[in-house]
Chains A and B, each alone.
Chain A
């Protein structure tokens, strides 16, 4: 049973467009929410992360929005570029046991 539910499974966006990936969780003990980016044949790498006391965090073209009451968070990729084509995973962590739970992943394809 997936502790973090992620959607959509895949999306295609034109260069310059906005990619939006959504995640939801049930366990209110989660207190850290990272996003990972994975290119084919490689391991995932941390992209950006947020704590539940913050509603939004932006790093370059990547923004996390967090809604604590709804137990949802999302990743927005602004001005999407072909180099952003990858699989993106949301995740959630309980700091007291350091076990990171991942969503099922979203494959993003940016068309030039």
Chain B
């Protein structure tokens, strides 16, 4: 298994509170991604990073911010959580130069916003 660790794995929070999810990799891969998974929508890209301090928005980035200060860590922050952000969040990594489109996923972080 690729060395990807997501934390926390489960979190319940209240509307309006800030939440940070962490993704840590030991593979030294350049690309890191945050996806959310919801029934009927599959996996939707929130933000991704193509290097330290280099990030870009995905298709559902509103309400989320990210930071990558080190190669191994990619943080996803919900500044003020809403019930619509209840979801399972997956971090993924890729070394796309060899196999573009081959992403390695973490085990997911289940977030419930009450």
**Footprint of B on A, CB under 8 Å?**
2, 6, 9, 32-34, 41-46, 49, 89, 91, 93, 95, 98-105
The answer to whether residues A43 and B105 also contact, given A95-B100, A98-B48, A98-B100 and a CB cut-off of 8 A, is yes
* Neighbouring B residues of A45 by C-beta, 8 Å: 104-105
**Does any Cβ of A come within 8 Å of B45's Cβ?**
yes
* Neighbouring A residues of B103 by C-beta, 8 Å: 44, 46, 100
CA distance A96 to B102 in the complex (A): 14
* Neighbouring B residues of A44 by C-beta, 8 Å: 43, 90, 103, 105
The answer to whether residues A100 and B42 also contact, given A43-B90, A43-B108 and a CB cut-off of 8 A, is no
CB distance from A50 to the nearest CB of B (A): 10
A34 & B101 in contact (Cβ 8 Å cutoff): yes
**Does any Cβ of A come within 8 Å of B74's Cβ?**
no
CA distance A33 to B43 in the complex (A): 15
**Footprint of A on B, CB under 8 Å?**
31, 33, 35, 40-45, 48, 50, 58-59, 90, 92, 94, 96, 100-108
- CB-based nearest A residue for B110: A41
* Neighbouring A residues of B43 by C-beta, 8 Å: 44, 89, 102
- CB-based nearest A residue for B41: A104
* Neighbouring B residues of A103 by C-beta, 8 Å: 42
B58 & A102 in contact (Cβ 8 Å cutoff): no
CA distance A80 to B81 in the complex (A): 42
> By CB atoms of chain A within 10 A, which of B33, B40, B43 has the most?
B43
- CB-based nearest B residue for A94: B100
